[in-house]
Amino acid sequence: MTLPIYLDYHATTPVDPRVVEAMLPYFTREFGNAASRTHAFGWAARDAVEEARARVADLVGAAANEIVFTSGATESDNLAVRGIAGASRDGGSHIITCVSEHTAVLDTCRAVERQGTRVTYLPVRPDGRVDPDAVAAAIGPDTVLVSVMAANNEIGVLQPVAEIGAVARARGVLFHTDAAQAVGHVRLDVEDVQADLVSMSAHKMYGPKGVGALYVRRRRPRVPLVEQMSGGGHERGMRSGTLNVPAIVGFGAAAALCAAEMSAEAERVRALRDRLHRQLCDRLDDVRVNGSMTHRLPNNLNLSFARLEGESLLMAIDDIAVSSGAACTSASRDPSHVLMALGLGEDLARASIRFGLGRWTTDEDIDYVVQKVASVVGRLREMSPLRTAGVDA
């Protein structure tokens, strides 16, 4: 075991050494521009990109020509939401999403609202899941898109995307899911969930930062998108810009590894996650699990520790890399919008920790984390002005 211990795999993952090895030639020897059509350097780069495209497509059950490479899931979310809103301005102007989405979706929905698109923000149940019947009830004649994430980035809850996709398809509405936290960790097939648009990110699945993809269905139905980046017509006109070939190659390598190893890896980290949960609850009282444990990513555990101040807890376990919410909003002093959506009070939301396990988490890591967190929580509770409050504070 080496300190500090990294348990923030939802924020980002280390690049697998096998992925790095696949990428290295494309920084030096195979450095061509994939858009260069007149010489061998460009052809080699193009071939590498297309192989990676096929690997990413295989991971989600798509056709290779339905994968559009982007800079990451945030750009993919923007392309999906803005692209559909822009393409359907004349024929419909209503989007449905939910209150616990990633800010990449929520902020983009607010942006298209300012441009005249109507957006419905559905609540979630206390377990963090959206009710598919609520989606059906919200669909109207002007609805053009439903956007519900596959797995929540804070509480790890798996949404009923297959049921939501079926509702959307039956009503002739496009369905987008931000699957950045799900792809590579749990099985997600675009046909099974009837998704029309799926956002992905390489650095959430042991690939490099700065590259992602958007699955865009091409048949039954063919999804209309207005491009958000112009200048060259790259990626079939959906996303212009010189392709980051080394990163795309890395994305493809990471996707292939996940396809081969995902099931065994999920079983291993789920066992570690459950041991972490069980042992912390054995040693501490007033510990609350946030979100469904039945419908959850195998590597996620989000806990609230009543009767203490969350910031003090994070500072006291500085040799364990965890977070109190999403990495993209970690500078905010506001309590997590996801936890507030579950009905937690501000004090309890602020006293919450997200544990994200991953490929290199060990038994020894879990033993140390249990001992350290239990000891620190006990000590801080003795000192806390909140020590008399209950678990539902």
CATH number at 137 reads 3.40.640.10
* Domain housing 243: 17-257
- Please write the tens of the pLDDT for every residue from 366-391: 999 999 999 999 999 998 766 555 44
**What pTM value is reported for the model?**
0.95
**What sign for the dihedral angle of Cα 26, 30, 31, 33?**
negative
| Tally of domains within the chain | 2
Q: Quick one: which H or E segment has residue 305?
A: strand 300-305
DSSP structure class, residue 348: H
- Which of the following is catalytic: 98, 109, 281, 328? 328
- Residue 46's Cα: distance from chain center in Å? 28
The structure tokens listed for 239 are: 């996303």
- In a domain, residue 223? The reply is yes
**Do 287 and 301 have their domain in common?**
yes
Point out the domain boundary residue: 194, 226, 257: 257
* Catalytic (active site) residue 328: yes
**Do 214 and 329 have their domain in common?**
no
Cα dihedral 269→273→276→281 (10° resolution): -160
**Do 296 and 191 have their domain in common?**
no
d(CA 26, CA 228): 27
- Please write the tens of the pLDDT for every residue from 264-321: 999 999 999 999 999 999 999 999 999 999 999 999 999 999 998 888 899 999 999 9
Point out the domain boundary residue: 257, 275, 297: 257
Q: Does residue 79 contact residue 126 with C-beta atoms inside 8 Å?
A: no
Point out the domain boundary residue: 257, 279, 313: 257
pLDDT less than 70: residues of the chain: 89-92, 325-333, 385-393
Domain of residue 305, CATH code? 3.90.1150.10
- In a domain, residue 391? The reply is no
**Do 197 and 342 have their domain in common?**
no
**Do 288 and 188 have their domain in common?**
no
- In a domain, residue 129? The reply is yes
**Do 244 and 279 have their domain in common?**
no
d(CA 162, CA 60): 14
